[in-house]
Amino acid sequence: MHAMDALIREEVEAYSHHIPEFSVTGRRLLATKYSTKLKQLQESQRVFTLERDCALVQIVNEICEARAEALLSCDPLRMSPEEFVPTDEHLRRCPCLAGLPLAQLQKRFLILRNFNCRLQNSLSFIDFSINDDHSLLANGARALRGIIFQHVKLAWWLSVLKEQQSPAAARPEIEVDRHRAREATETTGDKESVFAQVFEQLHGIQPSLLRGADRAFKCQFVGEFGDDFGGLYRECLAQISSELQSTLLPLLKPCPNAVYGVGENREVFVPNAHLRKDSRLVQMAEFLGKLVGIAVRTKTPLDLNLPSVVWKLLVQEPVTRRDIERIHYGCFQVVDTIHNIDVHGITESMFDEIVDATFTVRSSTSHEDVELVPGGAHVRVKWDDKAEYARAVESYRLSEFRPVCDDIARGVATMLPAPTLGLFTWKELLTLVCGKATVDIDLLRRRTIYGDGCQASDPHIAFFWDVLGEFTDEQKSAFLRFVWGRSRLPTHAADFTQDFKISGLPKAAGRADMYLPIAHTCFFSIDLPMYSCRDVMKDKLLYAITHC
């Protein structure tokens, strides 16, 4: 391993200090010098597949993220093989690596680290706008997206975003009437909701004006006091996220598993596959894409529960049957049974009596039947059509959401350099847009400072962290929204634009149990009375996050 490390170091240092002159003789001498070690290394790496490499890089990313959250520096390109030590929990989440010796994993890390060291200097020379069929280089980078360190991707990608950034002075200002939005119903939501009001004011303006660094726009709530130093902006996006996943707006629908009460992921929403019949709804889908891009640019996560199929379509990863089955349990069961019906002892002569199916399939977001071929509602499936019918159903299911996701992608492309999204895995894009699904209280605690009349060792601060740690995920999100106007923490520790601040409440001195905590969402802070016991702390916090 040390021999390989030395060889890599010699090459990297030489490359870093001057324009390299690749000497064939020199490389042969190096190869001879380390030939035995390199052969042993090569033999030990034959067990690694792309799946295993992706899992290993996932662990590298998690190790670096954990160190960053602990405010420790961590550059995977400078990490030594000996520092790469996966925990049992890492390996539990990556079962494909189970049973491989640590030394073998460390050697593979060294190879992947070398690959990333070289790649970081090359990314800016790759034209990701070229189709895979016309660029082996872009195709290769996208195909290997899973083994590129997140550190390498983000360092390059964020520099690209910064080049397209608009100045704060160009930030548009909007007004939102939340009282009007509260009166909205299912029939008026596409006009009265917060989403609809923001859409009307922002969708028609020059997209480049929305590419701000910390906020895309300045928001004022009609009839409500408050200046927008970021809190109202975040509250606006949080309310939009909530509306999108309600009956107010037709853009997203509960997934089939939620509708029928079966399978997993029942909390997930899918794009309405039929909204393209209305041109205004198509524009709204594009605006949803703009909000996705805005969330990434301003590091203000959207609290959206969208399935893997949506994120895969946005980053151009292939959608699989498993992606569909996670949101539509049993959707292939009937068609698979028909396709393989002879296994069940059904013959051609019996088929027409038993199978009463036409070339149609039920939509995932409505009760409509969709024709798989022209006039499919009147074309019965015959014995010789079994395979064709199965292929048609599978093709429809795998592409059902593509048209709407293409609409969303057009909006994303106005905010982000869309071709470069292919460098990210679908899970990475999900995290960039939506942040962490659960509020990490330990991370929040590490990013907390204490103001006047309050310090970390105070008894009521201990009550506070105990109570917060016992909250449900929904209550934790509600608390975060109360103090910061957002439902999720930033994706990475480095993405915190400010620390959470807990201060005392002087006016409550001597009678703290009579007061509620006071939040300042624009400044991510809370004035916390010195409550007398844990139960009072819990009651006051729950009341505040529910009613204030």
Specify the 3-state DSSP secondary structure of 20.
coil
How wide is the angle at C-alpha 248 spanned by C-alphas 244 and 253, nearest 5°? 55
Residue the block writes with tokens 């002879």: 342
Specify the 3-state DSSP secondary structure of 291.
helix
Q: Are 303 and 477 in contact (CB under 8 A)?
A: yes
Which structure tokens are listed for 526? Answer: 């809370």
DSSP annotation of 250: S
Which residues have a Cβ under 8 Å from the Cβ of 512 and sit 6 or more positions away? 460, 505, 529, 530, 531, 532
CB atoms closer than 10 angstroms to residue 40:
14
How wide is the angle at C-alpha 126 spanned by C-alphas 123 and 129, nearest 5°? 125
**Count of alpha carbons within 13 Å of 234, Cβ hemisphere only?**
25
Residue 54 among the catalytic residues: no
Specify the 3-state DSSP secondary structure of 189.
helix
Give, in order, the Cα–Cα distances in Å from 137 to each of 12, 53, 141.
21, 20, 6
> Active site residue: 219, 255, 331, 522, which one?
522
User: Counting every residue, how long is the chain?
Assistant: 548
Cα 457 from chain centroid (whole Å): 36
Specify the 3-state DSSP secondary structure of 520.
strand
Q: Are 302 and 295 in contact (CB under 8 A)?
A: yes
**Rounded to an integer, what distance in angstroms lies between the CA atom of residue 485 and that of residue 476?**
12
Active-site positions read: 522
